[in-house]
Amino acid sequence: MRKLILIMATGLSAGPALAASGPFISLGNTDFVVLVAFLIFVGFLVYVKVPGLLGRKLDERAAGIKAELDEARALREEAQTLLASYERKQKDVQAQAERIIAHAKEEANLAAAEAKEEIKASIARRLQAAEEQIANAEARAIRDVRDQAVTVAVAAARDVIARQMTAADGNALIDAAIAEMDAKLH
């Protein structure tokens, strides 16, 4: 910046001396006229308060940028707050999901234990029913064998008695049985 000012100062001071053959402060000297026009222009800008206006505009722009930065900071803080809130909610939901899963596992284990007990009870009932059926079948078989043995024994006794007994003996037995029946009934 200092170099630029030094070059401009040298250019302005050396220009009239080198470019013009006449006096520097004269309307015939173009460098002087340009310098005066420039100074008038700068003076006009100062008169209409352009530097203050530029300063205000720059200040307004700076204030706008500052406001945007403040708003961005506020939005960032709000976003961080929301993020923290959602992270907390996610942790809560995760914890709740874990509790639900643990409860579901507990219920599944209880249901499995109950199912095992029901299966054991069902097997016990079926075994008891099978044992009862076996006992009934065994009793029926024993009864059938007895009945068959009685039938065979009666048939064998009839054959033996029929061969050894005479008609008179048979009639005497019948009369004795009738008498015995008569005594028991009265």
Cα separation, 33 vs 178, whole angstroms: 178
Cα separation, 150 vs 156, whole angstroms: 9
Kindly tell me if the per-residue pLDDT of 146 is higher than 90.
no
pLDDT at position 149 is 82
Asked whether 27 and 33 are in contact (CB, 8 A), the reply is yes
Please state the rounded mean pLDDT for residues 22-43: 89
Task: Specify the pTM.
Answer: 0.39
Instruction: Give 96 or 157, the one with higher predicted confidence.
Output: 96
DSSP the chain: -HHHHHHHHHHHHHHHHHH-SS-SSSTT-HHHHHHHHHHHHHHHHHHTTHHHHHHHHHHHHHHHHHHHHHHHHHHHHHHHHHHHHHHHHHHHHHHHHHHHHHHHHHHHHHHHHHHHHHHHHHHHHHHHHHHHHHHHHHHHHHHHHHHHHHHHHHHHHHHHHHHH--HHHHHHHHHHHHHHHHHHH-
Please state the rounded mean pLDDT for residues 147-155: 82
Kindly tell me if the per-residue pLDDT of 13 is higher than 70.
no
- CB burial of residue 35 (10 Å; 0-12, 13-18, 19+): middle
Cα separation, 5 vs 35, whole angstroms: 15
